[in-house]
Amino acid sequence: MPDDADVIVVGAGLAGLVAATELAEAGKKTIILDQEPEQSLGGQAFWSLGGIFLVDSPEQRRMRIRDSHDLALEDWLGTAAFDRTEDSWPRRWAEAYVGFAAGEKRSWLTERGIKFFPVVGWAERGGGNAVGHGNSVPRFHITWGTGPGVLEPFIRRVRKAESQGLIRFKFRHRVNELVRTGAVVTGVRGDILASSDVERGRKSSRDISGDFELKAQAVIVASGGIGANHELVRKNWPRRLGSPPRRMITGVPDHVDGRMLAIAEQAGGSIINRDRMWHYVEGIKNWAPLWTGHGIRILPGPSSLWLDARGKRLPVPLYPGFDTLGTLSHIMATGFDYSWFILTKKIIQKEFALSGSEQNPDLTGKSWRQVLGRATSGIPGPVKAFMEKGEDFIVEPDLPALVTRMNALAGGEPLLELTQVEREIRARDRQLDNPFSKDMQITALRGARAYLGDKLIRTAKPHKMLDPDNGPLVAVRLNILTRKTLGGLQTDLDSRVLDTDGQPVEGLYAVGEVAGFGGGGMHGYAALEGTFLGGCIFSGRAAGRAAARAVG
């Protein structure tokens, strides 16, 4: 029997689409399978803010940021902290990816029509020493058009290839098994799911209407991670981050279920770094949810006062936007799975943004008029909607009323004492009486405003929180928000899946999150942000090119 295609791609997200475009450009025939309906084309990337990690870009240079390959690699390796025998391939992927980010990445993307917002964001600032975790300089480049803007050129290319007969889509096809002929992966088997017209992001049915089997010379797994599967998240939860949260909210749609990891493992693939994962600590429940337990991440500026469940201030350097997993570890050590921001109206006006394409209609819609309105018209509309409708937001003119409502929202025994919370805030406010301070967060705020991008749109002028002129006061309950899988199928630099002996499983490739974005975990223990979409693009490109060469 002839093959159904040269290559089968399992997953129609960003990584799979990039791989498919490379195959089409090489003239190879490809089938793209996805368990979701066609309206979900693009997968999880559609919902993203579109952050891209670039090094020494024109946008950075215009903002007077001095970056270099060597500085970025030092930051990456200090953050990844590779320390395991199996980290050999992840480290090679990390080195290759930083080289890509400092080299052709931007030009390759702009050739495909992707453009970037001119102000570069400063994510994961670290706050420790120079060789440790964090970005030494701003590197977070927001795509003009956010997640949909990242997807658009690749969707356009696969649709063109589809019209040329090079690509076929098979939606609602769920893979249950990778077929092997001897030691070679030669196809897939699975279920055909009943058709579904659910809105993008909503949970689709798993009713089965038939089965299928397809043959090809190679299979590329591009199925994503485990973020919506809380059972797998808890099973793989790392001890270094404490006990798994009793309560989590979810930052990815239901279809991000991790099924293909076990299926690829059964076909001989090696999974490494299962305990490496990336979850946010600034999650809020979506007041208009699409998927199960739908949460949104606050993208905070550095000014909010961060308190644990009992009202104690988080230690240095756990400030908003500085060290995600360090903060997660500290919060879980408190015995609670939530924490609090306290801030003012002036802070929320300038510093609060929400992650996701749907929460940033100005950037997603490519509207400069709306972007300028964000900077001049007060609290952004999506943030204001959460203040008014979101259950995690509390707004009050005075601190006693705020603390009373914070305790009510937490439920159970009142954990917050007004005297403790007030002491933390007044002590912080006193540090603003002088142009110097022993409070390292105040020093960090002043340092942040030395960067023009932060001064313009991301960091409020330091002010006293208990001054009524800066109010009202705002409290936000912050939940643990599941998101990314940092470990996964081990791959070489051609995205070929390796077995437990370190040898390629012939005919099998893995890209994107299912491969830990490359190598089985190119981020190591932690990420620098803006690196997930880029990892999908880089690994997808490598797999598409390698598979095109291999199938002849």
CATH architecture, range 5-223+486-550? 3-Layer(bba) Sandwich (3.50)
Cα–Cα distance between 185 and 509 in angstroms, integer?
Answer: 10
User: For 19-28, what is each residue's pLDDT tens digit?
Assistant: 999 999 999 9
Q: What is the mean pLDDT of residues 510-519?
A: 98
Amino acid sitting at position 511 = V
Q: What angle do CA 278, 279, 281 make, to 5 degrees?
A: 140
Angle subtended at Cα 131 by Cα 130 and Cα 137, rounded to the nearest 5 degrees? 55
Q: Which residue carries 């000014």 as its tokens?
A: 303
Q: How confident is the model at residue 254 (pLDDT cuts 50, 70, 90)?
A: very high
Pairing of strands 249-250, 473-485: parallel
For 113-128, the pLDDT digits (tens) are 999 999 999 999 997 8
Strand 208-221 versus strand 393-396 pairing type: unpaired
Question: Over pLDDT 90: what percentage of the chain?
Answer: 96
Q: What is the mean pLDDT of residues 252-256?
A: 97
Q: Are 13 and 46 in contact (CB under 8 A)?
A: no
Report whether pLDDT(2) > 90: no
Stretch 214-236: mean pLDDT: 97
Stretch 494-516: mean pLDDT, rounded? 98
Q: Where residue 378 falls among pLDDT bands split at 50, 70, 90?
A: confident
The model's pLDDT over 190-219, given as tens digits with 9 standing for 90+, comes to 999 999 999 999 999 999 999 999 999 999
User: Where are any strands of DSSP class E within 143-207?
Assistant: 167-171, 173-181, 184-193
Mean pLDDT of 4-10: 98
Interval 103-113 mean pLDDT: 98
Q: Where are the domains of the chain?
A: 5-223+486-550, 280-481
- Give the Cα separation of 419 and 455 in Å (integer): 33
d(CA 321, CA 300): 6
How large is the average pLDDT for residues 480-484?
97
386-434 pLDDT, tens digit each? 999 999 999 999 999 999 999 999 998 999 999 999 999 999 999 999 9
Burial category of 422 from C-beta neighbours within 10 Å (exposed 0-12, middle 13-18, buried 19 and up): middle
Report pLDDT for 412: 87
| pLDDT value, residue 127 | 79
Helix (H) or strand (E) holding 533: helix 532-550
**Peptide bond before 472: cis, by omega within 30 degrees of 0?**
yes
User: What are the tens digits of pLDDT across the range 156-167?
Assistant: 999 999 999 999
